Amino acid sequence: MSQARIVGWAHSRFGKSDASSTQELMTQVVKPALDHAGVAARDVDGIFVGVFNNGFSKQDFQGALVAMAADGLDHVPAVRMENACATGSAALYAALDFIDAGRGDIALVVGAEKMTAASTEATGDILLGASYRDEEADVEGGFAGLFGRIASHYFQRYGDRSEELALIAAKNHANGLANPYAHMRRDLSFDFCNTVSEKNPYVAAPLRRTDCSLVSDGAAAMVIASASVAAGLQRAVAFRGRAHVNDILALSRRDPIAFEGARLAWQKALADGGVTLDDLSLVETHDCFTIAELIEYEAMGLAEPGKGYRVIREGVTRKDGRLPVNPSGGLKSKGHPIGATGVSMHVMAAMQVCGEAGEMQIPGASLAGVFNMGGAAVANYVSILERV
């Protein structure tokens, strides 16, 4: 078990932001996170930044930008991590390793992305950088097209599950109504999500617009401290278990609908924490597309391969179900600013186990799972959080 603790956080509203850059977005969350933790900037020993970029901004060297967000961070060592859609989790795990290795007592983690200033065409090409371009660069529809192919393969093997994808979309949008940070706080009915229309066209068949997460701007930050420092602060959230497992980047070299890396990450994290799915109060999972959440039900062990549809049909993952999944609204409603997503997911889970989730709160939440993935289930991170 990691001895590092989450002791504070901050989260911007996701969506189309007036902020002109990731620097401005990060500035919005750095000081509030330090204040939430009750920690001074001068006490930070390391800064870990998650920004995907890859062309969203000409300004790179993004790890160095955080020092300008608060006085006292001038000479703190800072690095920037990138791991596709799991960039935020990569930055967080680097901070945890930094603390666990004894290199410092307090670390600041910041994830951010400014996406909406780029054109739709440019955004699609930038995001394809998280695929294997040698074989997948010609996929029509960008990353949505890639997951459209995954959905098609899944349907061919197990049957058309378009209705279940619509149920997932409707569930997450209903949950997102309670999330003040969400990009789209709109209750979309099952009928709307399940019907192809002018307002809900195919983006990459069989995926409709309501099956796809949003292009968003936003930032989130966390303060991580050693157990000894955390003991003197207002709150401390521990990592009961955590795991990072990769899979082959090229989809042609693996079963694209098995999400084997995700399955192994879940198994390792649960074993590390000495718990099972039945012990969890909730899960925040990576629903970049609804087909991803469906397959993730199977990868985490809620259903056998091909049977994930039963999970949503039976209401298991609804907010009032046996294991609520994405009570925050998930990426589908909350939004998906690439570098911020992994940090955001851990903030949402930490809020829950601390009883600080407001209208999103799952009553009595004590143990929360987080699954964040980079690419098409290539970089897979699973965390099990609990308040201590």
DSSP for 59-115, written as a single string = ---GGGGGGGSSTT-TTS-EEEE-BTBTHHHHHHHHHHHHHHTTS-SEEEEEEEE--
Mean of pLDDT values over 30-49? 98
Under the phi-then-psi rule, with left for phi > 0, alpha for psi from -120 to 50, and beta for the rest, what region is 315? left
3-class DSSP state of 241: strand
Query: Which amino acid is present at 186?
Result: R
Taking only the tens place, the pLDDT of each residue in 263-310 is: 999 999 999 999 999 999 999 999 999 999 999 999 999 999 999 999
206 upstream amide cis, omega within 30 of 0: yes
Taking only the tens place, the pLDDT of each residue in 69-116 is: 999 999 999 999 999 999 999 999 999 999 999 999 999 999 999 999
Judge residue 258's burial from the number of C-beta atoms within 10 Å of its C-beta, 0-12 exposed, 13-18 middle, 19 or more buried.
Answer: middle
Mean of pLDDT values over 315-324? 98
Q: What is the pLDDT of residue 374?
A: 98
Contact, 12 vs 216, CB < 8 A? no
| Averaged confidence pLDDT in the chain | 97
Q: What is the pLDDT of residue 57?
A: 97
Quick one: how far is CA 110 from the chain centroid? 13
- What percent of the chain has pLDDT above 70? 100
Quick one: how far is CA 258 from the chain centroid? 20
Measured in residues, the chain has a length of 388
Q: What is the pLDDT of residue 12?
A: 98
- Judged against a pLDDT cut of 80, whether residue 260 lies above it is answered with yes
Closest CA to 15 of 184, 210, 199: 184
Domains of the chain from N-terminus onward: 5-118+216-230 (3.40.47.10)
Mean of pLDDT values over 192-199? 98
- What percent of the chain has pLDDT above 90? 98
Q: What is the pLDDT of residue 294?
A: 98
Cα(374)–Cα(120) distance, rounded to whole angstroms? Answer: 21
Active site residues per annotation: 85, 336
Mean of pLDDT values over 145-164? 97
Residues 6+ apart with CB under 8 A from 372: 85, 86, 88, 89, 286, 341, 342, 345, 381
- Judged against a pLDDT cut of 80, whether residue 20 lies above it is answered with yes
- Judged against a pLDDT cut of 90, whether residue 338 lies above it is answered with yes
